[in-house]
């Protein structure tokens, strides 16, 4: 695009003369003839790399800072734009909704991915966020490839990039988890790949994208790349230097099958058969390294970033989530996983410098959710915490429903901390859905471990702008969500007594990193609050594309040159 500076000069001069002769006298020729800055979309990055770190709390960045090297997290922060007060503004904070929200620029209320799985009111069954029985697996005989984005109701920034460039942009999405690849890839991805694990350690896909694996993927699988990580997991540095984490042998962690205690070193080869063969790599930092190996091969084979039409690579590092669930946020295993991820990030940036060209690509790094401390650990420190016994709650709740209405059939399901009512049964009993919702909400609020309760009627008929209600409202989808929504008490999950989990609307689950880096990005730090739905609009402005069609977020304008 070219600009004609001369007409703009005469227009500015005319305006200045019209406004004020005195003002005009103070305007210099240099000021009026200076051309506009070149917009970022006129010379966009050749490649955008979206990095999702599964279950990364914000304070993993600061807590392990002194242990990180110079080329990974520190380079991203030092040379990029760091949003330090970045949050999810909805619940549940889980992997499926997290990946969908980052790439669509909206919340579950708009994109429809209300959980990793949920009770489907139309079929009366539990459905998986990317499950699709219409598809067939590619690269495996199992059902692990029967997935697609068909439940995602709006477009992604990756879709918009493909539409904008008449599908000449290439979009590849990669993750150990199927949902971590399928949802970022959107509806128009050239390919999405995920890890089968098990006895093969292969990368697979779905017939939604292709009929057979490309030669480069088949070659990668045949190279036994995963087999190279069949090695003991020892700490990267001396374990005594991991002062940022708790003790190694504690009752808050879960050992691998066959281990006497959850302590270093973890002898993965000896534990191989008892822990799902190649699946065990998911629960170690090696899963992230293998993901990066595959991603770098994708850049090379697919020639991503090789021309002036922007391409997009989505990488989701899933092992951080598996390790967090198994060992907890205060474990030495989590610290070691992040120190090794830091090395992988440095490896990625070095490769991009060489392959695409320094200053020719853009990266963003964020997370799909955070995580909380192990409640048992907090309890031992006399911090308020506990466990939500949904089994006991369910028995008590069913007894109440039977006593109050004489028919437990009015409750169809309990899913994702939501009560689903059978509206056909309600009609047959001539019961008002609103009144039943309010009665059940009042009863549930009496139970130990429950902090707040909201009804679907409240969320449909009241516009909340702050607080817990607003967070729940952003996660509430009118056609897919339940009738009564429950908020457990802080640090009171429905989970095992070992390892960390997530999903709540509390700040330990909502506060995650956001770093922009590379072409078109300012260097700096921002402390005002930003939201996960702001990422896709920021990228749309950078790339000059339309916003995803359901986007409700705002661009982080401070990050853009």
Which residues are tagged catalytic? 95
By C-alpha distance, which of 126, 106, 124, 104 is closest to 115? 126
Non-local CB neighbours of 466 within 8 Å, separated by 6+ positions: none
Q: How far is CA 33 from the centre of its chain?
A: 46
What is the residue-wise DSSP string for 9-29? HHHHHHHHHHH-HHHHHT--H
8 Å CB contact between 171 and 108: no
8 Å CB contact between 530 and 514: yes
Place of tokens 């859905």: 433
Q: What six digits make up the tokens of 128?
A: 């998986």
By C-alpha distance, which of 137, 191, 87 is closest to 509? 87
Place of tokens 């997530």: 502
Q: What six digits make up the tokens of 319?
A: 């092992």
Task: Tell me how far apart the alpha carbons of residues 479 and 502 are, in angstroms, rounded to a whole number.
Answer: 24
Task: Tell me how far apart the alpha carbons of residues 53 and 367 are, in angstroms, rounded to a whole number.
Answer: 5
Task: Tell me how far apart the alpha carbons of residues 346 and 181 are, in angstroms, rounded to a whole number.
Answer: 22
Which residues lie across from 137 on neighbouring strands? 206
Say if residue 243 is exposed, middle or buried (CB neighbours under 10 Å; 0-12, 13-18, 19+): exposed
8 Å CB contact between 229 and 286: yes
Task: Tell me how far apart the alpha carbons of residues 185 and 100 are, in angstroms, rounded to a whole number.
Answer: 10
Q: What six digits make up the tokens of 368?
A: 């799909």
Task: Tell me how far apart the alpha carbons of residues 446 and 441 are, in angstroms, rounded to a whole number.
Answer: 9
By C-alpha distance, which of 182, 45, 165, 183 is closest to 103? 183
Q: Which helix (H) or strand (E) holds 181?
A: helix 178-185
Non-local CB neighbours of 75 within 8 Å, separated by 6+ positions: 346, 349, 517
8 Å CB contact between 185 and 158: yes
CA distances from 316 to 53, 254, 364 (A): 6, 24, 12
Q: Which helix (H) or strand (E) holds 185?
A: helix 178-185
């Amino acid at each position: 695009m070219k600009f004609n500076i001369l007409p703009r000069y005469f227009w500015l001069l005319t305006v200045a003369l019209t406004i004020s002769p005195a003002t005009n006298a103070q305007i210099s020729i240099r000021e009026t003839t200076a051309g506009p800055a070149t917009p970022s979309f006129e010379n966009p990055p050749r490649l955008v790399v979206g990095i999702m770190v599964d279950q990364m709390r914000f304070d993993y960045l600061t807590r392990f800072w002194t242990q990180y090297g110079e080329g990974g997290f520190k380079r991203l922060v030092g040379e990029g734009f760091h949003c330090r007060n970045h949050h999810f503004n909805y619940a549940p904070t889980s992997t499926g909704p997290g990946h969908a929200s980052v790439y669509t620029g909206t919340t579950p209320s708009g994109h429809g991915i209300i959980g990793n799985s949920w009770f489907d009111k139309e079929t009366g069954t539990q459905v998986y966020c990317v499950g699709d029985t219409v598809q067939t697996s590619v690269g495996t005989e199992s059902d692990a490839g029967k997935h697609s984005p068909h439940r995602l109701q709006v477009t992604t920034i990756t879709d918009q990039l493909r539409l904008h460039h008449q599908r000449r942009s290439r979009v590849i999405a990669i993750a150990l988890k199927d949902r971590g690849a399928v949802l970022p890839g959107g509806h128009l991805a050239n390919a999405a790949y995920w890890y089968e694990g098990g006895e093969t350690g292969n990368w697979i896909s779905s017939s939604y994208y292709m009929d057979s694996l490309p030669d480069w993927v088949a070659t990668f699988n045949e190279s036994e790349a995963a087999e190279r990580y069949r090695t003991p997991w020892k700490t990267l540095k001396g374990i005594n230097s991991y002062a940022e984490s708790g003790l190694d042998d504690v009752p808050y962690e879960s050992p691998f099958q066959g281990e006497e205690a959850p302590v270093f070193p973890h002898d993965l080869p000896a534990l191989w058969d008892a822990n799902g063969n190649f699946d065990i790599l998911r629960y170690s930092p090696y899963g992230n390294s293998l993901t990066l190996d595959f991603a770098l091969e994708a850049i090379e084979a697919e020639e991503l970033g090789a021309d002036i039409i922007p391409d997009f690579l989505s990488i989701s590092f899933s092992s951080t989530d598996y390790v967090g669930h198994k060992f907890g946020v205060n474990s030495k295993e989590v610290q070691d996983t992040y120190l090794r991820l830091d090395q992988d990030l440095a490896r990625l940036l070095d490769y991009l410098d060489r392959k695409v060209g320094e200053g020719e690509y853009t990266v963003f790094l964020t997370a799909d959710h955070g995580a909380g401390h192990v409640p048992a650990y907090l309890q031992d420190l006399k911090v308020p915490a506990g466990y939500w016994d949904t089994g006991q709650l369910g028995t008590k709740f069913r007894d109440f429903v039977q006593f109050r209405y004489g028919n437990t059939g009015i409750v169809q399901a309990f899913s994702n901390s939501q009560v689903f009512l059978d509206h056909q049964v309600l009609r047959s009993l001539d019961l008002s859905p609103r009144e039943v919702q309010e009665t059940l909400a009042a009863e549930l609020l009496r139970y130990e471990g429950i902090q707040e309760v909201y009804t679907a009627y409240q969320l449909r008929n009241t516009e909340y702008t702050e607080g817990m209600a607003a967070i729940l409202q952003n996660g509430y989808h009118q056609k897919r969500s339940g009738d009564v929504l429950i908020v457990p008490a802080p640090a009171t999950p429905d989970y095992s007594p070992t390892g960390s989990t997530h999903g709540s609307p509390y700040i330990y689950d909502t506060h995650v990193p956001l770093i922009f880096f590379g072409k078109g990005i300012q260097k700096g730090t921002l402390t005002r609050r930003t939201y996960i739905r702001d990422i896709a609009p920021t990228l749309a402005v950078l790339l000059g594309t339309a916003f995803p069609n359901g986007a409700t977020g705002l661009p982080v304008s401070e990050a853009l040159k």
